Amino acid sequence: MTNMDTLWLAPALVCYALSAVIFIAGRLTRTSRASGWAIYLLGAGVIFHALDLTARGFQAGNIPVGNFAQALSFFAWLTALASLLLIVRLQMAVIGAYSVGVVAATLGASAIMMKGGRIVLPASLQSVWLPIHVTLAILGFSMFVLASSVSLVYLAYESQLKAKRPLGPASERPPSLEKLDRINYSLLGWGFALLSLAIITGAIWADATWGHFWSWEPVESWSLTIWILYAALLEARLTVGWRGRRAAALTIVVFLVLVGSFVGVSLIDPGKHGGWFG
């Protein structure tokens, strides 16, 4: 019998995987009708996933991020929700061909590593600051996923335009490269603001708990490094005028650094951000 805390995880993963496949197939076959099904499946996945996180949250007595697997699951859900809102608001199904694949892969990895049973958070993490700090940080990462997805769309469209190939289904009006560049910049700005707030709230929480704002742990050091890289990218866009292809490529590169640091540090030396409590 499946535990209540994992009852909704499997259907969420199935919905995300099918959504990603249909989004990609729609791009390859240039069929706009497929996108509607992909969006519905993505929405269903978000709902199932939210139920799973709610069940785990009740068990933990706080936001369910008690270990690396749960943190990945929460990241996947926020990214899925943000992707759904962005796709629907901008009427750009092409974004899903890139972002939803990340969601499915992340939740798949989380499900493989997920442990059964209740995970009890240590006393130092049983704080109102936990959901605030973690949600800000992971939502910031989600914005960077979307910025990278839009950057991939930009590079793909630019390549297709140069080759004089169609950009998508005949019934779909593709966004201009200028619009994609503006969306990328906006998402980078939101991600940077959220990451900044996450660092600030984390410092306030650390001072209240351990008596110091900063301890130069690997997670803190890499968070600061990532913050500096995104600050430099945004500054280059504002002052140097980096736009288009260069900005898109750098957005992807910095995001890959973020992924490498987040996964590497979380698995090798998470420190007080440890997370292996179960």
Given this model, what pLDDT does residue 278 score? 34
pLDDT of residue 36: 87
User: What does the pLDDT look like over 209-254, one tens digit per residue?
Assistant: 766 666 667 777 788 889 999 999 999 988 877 788 899 999 999 9
pLDDT digits (tens, 9 = 90+) for 180-199: 999 999 999 999 999 999 99
Q: For position 273, what pLDDT does the model report? A: 55
- pLDDT-based confidence at 122, cuts 50/70/90? low
Query: Could you give the CA distance from residue 74 to residue 107 in angstroms, rounded to a whole number?
Result: 9
User: pLDDT value at position 262?
Assistant: 79
Q: How far apart are CA 119 and CA 278, in angstroms?
A: 5
Q: What's the DSSP call for residue 137?
A: H
pLDDT digits (tens, 9 = 90+) for 46-66: 999 999 999 888 877 778 887
pTM of the predicted structure, to 2 decimals: 0.87
Which residue, 173, 273, 176, 183, is CA-closest to 220?
Answer: 273
Q: What angle do CA 247, 184, 87 make, to 5 degrees?
A: 145
Question: Tokens 């420190």, residue?
Answer: 271
Report residue 202 as tokens.
């984390």
Residue-wise pLDDT for 2-45, tens only, equals 444 568 899 999 999 999 999 998 887 777 677 889 999 999 99
pLDDT digits (tens, 9 = 90+) for 67-109: 888 889 999 999 999 999 999 999 888 899 999 999 999 999 9
Token pair listed for 53: 């996180």
Spatial CA neighbour of 180 closest among 97, 94, 76, 241: 94
How high is the pLDDT of residue 104? 96
Q: Read off the DSSP letter of residue 275.
A: -
**What is the per-residue pLDDT for 142?**
96
Alpha carbon distance 107, 103 (integer Å) = 6
CA pair distance 12, 49, nearest whole angstrom: 5
Rg (CA), the chain: 19
